[in-house]
Amino acid sequence: MDDKLHGDDTLSEVISENASQQQEETLEEMLSRHRKETNDLQNKETALKKAAAKGSKAEQKAKKKQVDEEVHRLSTKLKERQAEELASLGYNKSTDKQKGNLDNLVKAIAGVSVTTQPEQSKPSKSVKRREKRAQQEAAREQRIQEEQSQIVSDRMVEDEKLEKKLDPLGFIINEIKPDGHCLYRAVEDQLALHCGGASPYTFQELRQMVAAYMRKNVSEFLPFFLSENMVDGETQDSLAERFENYCREVESTAAWGGQLELGALTHCLKKPIMIFSGSFPDVEMGKEYKSGKGTGSSDSSIMLSYHRHAFGLGEHYNSVVPDSAQ
């Protein structure tokens, strides 16, 4: 494992592969490259963790520690360089221009020009939604740059808690690609495990099923949707439009899934879903579909792990499988 980690130049190239692009780079181009570099490192980490999940439990634990340490080192180095590059273009939290620079960062991520333009009329609702999503992405960029060491520390603590919880049950985590589809890919992995082969549904088909169920059962999901997306003075028509836009995002984008989507999944599949976490209490949904209750065709629970600090980019889900399945 030591030879694989330290002798493999591929992982180190994640940090340096785009160094030649730094000259004459705009802020938008730099942010795009930063996101690609971060995603490349995350994909490499996932691959290394899968490779480390072999051998005895003692060997797996040792390999996992090596992977965490190596990725921590590379991730810290990457974030430091990215922060320096952003500072070279004027984005520096220590200056009095932080707010203006952060506004520019938000606009750049949203695809809006950062050049000065004449004041225009009140922005439309679609522009407001786009700017809100851009603000969320900008906040993630800022957290990555300013809190990476703490995030990595929290991740290690979270992983240790999960391991202590799953090990006595004979379960381990099967790493899922962090591409925004992780919830649906994890469920797809679970369905394949239950079937002993290929899953009856792809992650994209699961997205479509969830969106269709939410549209059909609006009253069941609307209160929870409003609790997270409240807008003052909104009409019923505009609310219905926003909920439909949300369903379209679930159906056809890489929008992350959460509690609403988990609730829909358990009803679509008629299976209970168990979510293990190292940061929050475990949650079980769809208990009515357990053996002897409801009309479910199977009482095999879908088992997922929820990670608050997996990559520093937001929520992440993995598939929880029996140790013997690896």
Question: Helices 203-216 and 259-269 sit at what angle, rounded to 10 degrees?
Answer: 100
pLDDT tens, position by position, 252-303: 999 999 999 999 999 999 999 999 998 889 999 999 998 754 443 445 899 9
Domains detected in the chain:
2-153 (no CATH), 170-325 (3.90.70.80)
Reported as a pLDDT band with limits 50, 70 and 90, residue 313 is: low
**Which is the catalytic residue, given 34, 159, 182, 309?**
182
Which tokens in the block code for residue 195? 């079937």
Q: 59-73, 81-95, 265-279: which has the minimum mean pLDDT?
A: 81-95
Q: Is 34 a catalytic residue?
A: no
Please tell me the total number of residues recorded for the chain in this structure: 326
Q: Give me the catalytic one of 40, 179, 299, 323.
A: 179
- Whether 268 sits among the annotated catalytic residues: the reply is no
- The predicted pLDDT at position 227 comes to 62
Supply the pLDDT for residue 232.
58
Please count the CA atoms within 13 angstroms of the CA of 89 that sit on its side-chain side.
22
Q: Report if pTM > 0.85.
A: no
Rg over CA atoms, the chain: 22
Task: Examine the residue annotation and report whether 316 is marked as an active-site residue of this protein.
Answer: yes
129's CB contacts (< 8 A; 6+ apart) are 242, 245
Cβ pair 89, 30 in contact under 8 A? yes
pLDDT, position 229: 58
C-alpha distances (whole Å) from 113 to each of 3, 123, 165 are: 47, 15, 48
**Half-sphere exposure (Cβ direction) of 82: Cα atoms closer than 13 Å:** 26
